[in-house]
A = this chain, B = another copy of it.
Amino acid sequence: MNYQNILEEIQEEIKPFLEEGALADYIPALENVNGNDFAMSIITLNGEEFHIGCSDKNFSIQSISKVFTFTLALQNYGRKLYERVGHEPSGDPFNSLVQLEYENGIPRNPFINAGAIVTTDRLISIYKDNTFHEVLKFIKNASNYNTIGYDEEIFKSELSHGFMNLALINMMKSFKNIDNETNRVIETYFKQCSILMTTKQLAHAMLFLANHGVNPLTNEVLVSESKAKRINSVMLTCGHYDASGDFAYRVGLPGKSGVGGGIVAIVPKKMAICVYSPKLNKQGNSLVGTKALELFTTKTGLSIF
* Contact indicator A236/B305 (Cβ below 8 Å): yes
Number of interface residues of A (CB under 8 A): 50
Chain B minimum-CB-distance residue to A102: B98
* Contact indicator A245/B109 (Cβ below 8 Å): yes
User: Chain B contacts of A56 at CB under 8 A?
Assistant: none
Please report the C-alpha to C-alpha distance between residue A305 and residue B254 in the assembled complex, in whole angstroms: 8
* Contact indicator B89/A96 (Cβ below 8 Å): no
A108 within 8 A of B: yes
A252 within 8 A of B: yes
User: Chain B contacts of A233 at CB under 8 A?
Assistant: 245, 248-249, 252, 303, 305
A229 within 8 A of B: yes
In the complex where A91-B89, A237-B236, A238-B245 touch, is A170 in contact with B174 (Cβ < 8 A)? no
In the complex where A236-B237, A245-B109, A249-B234 touch, is A163 in contact with B171 (Cβ < 8 A)? yes
User: Chain B contacts of A173 at CB under 8 A?
Assistant: 163
User: Chain B contacts of A171 at CB under 8 A?
Assistant: 97, 163-164, 167
Chain B minimum-CB-distance residue to A210: B305
Please report the C-alpha to C-alpha distance between residue A38 and residue B182 in the assembled complex, in whole angstroms: 39
A166 within 8 A of B: yes
A293 within 8 A of B: no
A180 within 8 A of B: no
A88 within 8 A of B: yes
Q: Name the contact of A98 in the complex, choosing from B101, B108, B182, B268 (C-beta under 8 A).
A: B101
| Nearest-Cβ distance from residue A39 to partner chain B, whole angstroms | 26
* Contact indicator A96/B92 (Cβ below 8 Å): no
User: Chain B contacts of A245 at CB under 8 A?
Assistant: 86-89, 109, 233-234, 237-238
* Contact indicator A236/B254 (Cβ below 8 Å): no
Interface residue ranges of A93-117 to B (CB < 8 Å): 96-102, 108-109
Chain B minimum-CB-distance residue to A173: B163
Q: Name the contact of A167 in the complex, choosing from B99, B167, B236 (C-beta under 8 A).
A: B167
In the complex where A170-B167, A174-B167 touch, is A244 in contact with B101 (Cβ < 8 A)? no
Please report the C-alpha to C-alpha distance between residue A174 and residue B99 in the assembled complex, in whole angstroms: 18
Chain B minimum-CB-distance residue to A303: B229
A232 within 8 A of B: yes
| Nearest-Cβ distance from residue A305 to partner chain B, whole angstroms | 4
In the complex where A91-B88, A91-B92, A254-B305 touch, is A163 in contact with B167 (Cβ < 8 A)? no
The residues of A with any CB-CB pair to B shorter than 8 Å are 86-92, 96-102, 108-109, 163-164, 166-168, 170-171, 173-174, 182, 226, 228-230, 232-234, 236-238, 242-246, 248-249, 252, 254, 268, 298, 303-305
Beyond A87-B249, A234-B245, 9 additional pairs, beta carbon < 8 A = A88-B245, A88-B246, A89-B91, A89-B237, A163-B170, A167-B171, A233-B252, A233-B305, A236-B248
- What 3 pairs across the A-B complex have the smallest Cβ distances? A91-B91, A88-B245, A89-B89
